[in-house]
Amino acid sequence: MDEDTKASAPGADTGGDGSVEPGLGHNRPEVVWERWQKKRTFVRALEGTYSDLQQKVLDQPRVYSTLDMTWKGGPQAYGKHVINPQRTDIAQSIETHVHAYAPGGYAQNHGHMNSATFYVLRGRGYDIHDGKRMEYEAGDMLLVENGCVHQHFNASDAEELVVVVMKAKPLFLFMHMLFQKTVKLPPKDPVAGMDLYKPPSDW
């Protein structure tokens, strides 16, 4: 692309020295979901004496603040993975995480062998489970049944959707029930008009 073309690109501003500064949404870096790229610990090894292992569990904290954690993902859906075998030593059989969806946003279309429960903290949304739509709002519980292909959507164009997710995924993986498939990756671009959306600071 020559300099004239660069200068006329949508969202581009020309600096005082003639250089082209990228505008909002211009040359946005590709979204990389860290958990899909790095080696993860799905189930920890239990090594040592029984008494040492038991004491290690007893010494673990019982309260974990999500405010101490960084949101990952974007630009339409973000997550904080709070409790899982890789991050904490207190639990080996469950995963718990918080997800936030921009107004009008949605996440990947996927399926896995484990079930999952969602508690809706804020907003309203809907899921598509094997082609069937299910709507929910703050205060509702949602169950994602074993093995269904599903996708999560924020139903509001003005309010974010925030949910907490609880699942026994490590137990399924330990039993070698490993199948999980992404049908469609999460969007790389923000919702139109939501370029400045940031996940909530109170979760």
Structure tokens at 84: 């899982």
End-to-end distance of the chain based on CA atoms, in angstroms? Answer: 43
Which of 92, 80, 94, 106 minimizes the C-alpha distance to 164?
Answer: 80
The verdict on pTM exceeding 0.75 is: yes
Give dist(CA 39, CA 98) in Å, integer.
21
Q: How open is the CA angle 198-133-200, to the nearest 5 degrees?
A: 15
What is the chain's pLDDT, residue by residue, as a tens digit (203 residues)? Answer: 433 433 333 344 444 555 544 444 444 455 555 655 678 888 888 888 989 989 988 999 999 999 989 999 999 999 999 999 988 888 889 999 999 999 999 999 999 999 999 999 999 999 999 999 999 999 999 999 999 999 999 999 999 999 999 999 989 988 899 888 889 999 999 999 999 999 999 99
Sequence length of the chain is 203
Q: Is the dihedral of CA 41, 77, 168, 68 positive or negative?
A: positive
pLDDT of residue 18: 55
pLDDT of residue 4: 40
Cα 43–chain centre separation: 20
Beta bridge partners of 38: none
pLDDT of residue 33: 58
pLDDT of residue 112: 92
Query: What is the maximum span of the chain, computed from C-alpha positions, in angstroms?
Result: 71
Give dist(CA 33, CA 74) in Å, integer.
8
Tell me the domain boundaries of the chain: 27-184
**pLDDT (tens digit per residue) in 162-191:** 999 999 998 998 889 988 888 999 999 999
Cross-sheet strand order for the sheet of 77-83: 72-73, 77-83, 95-101, 161-167, 116-122, 141-144
- Cβ atoms of 107 and 77 closer than 8 Å: yes
Looking at domain 27-184, does it have CATH number 2.60.120.10?
A: yes
pLDDT of residue 82: 94
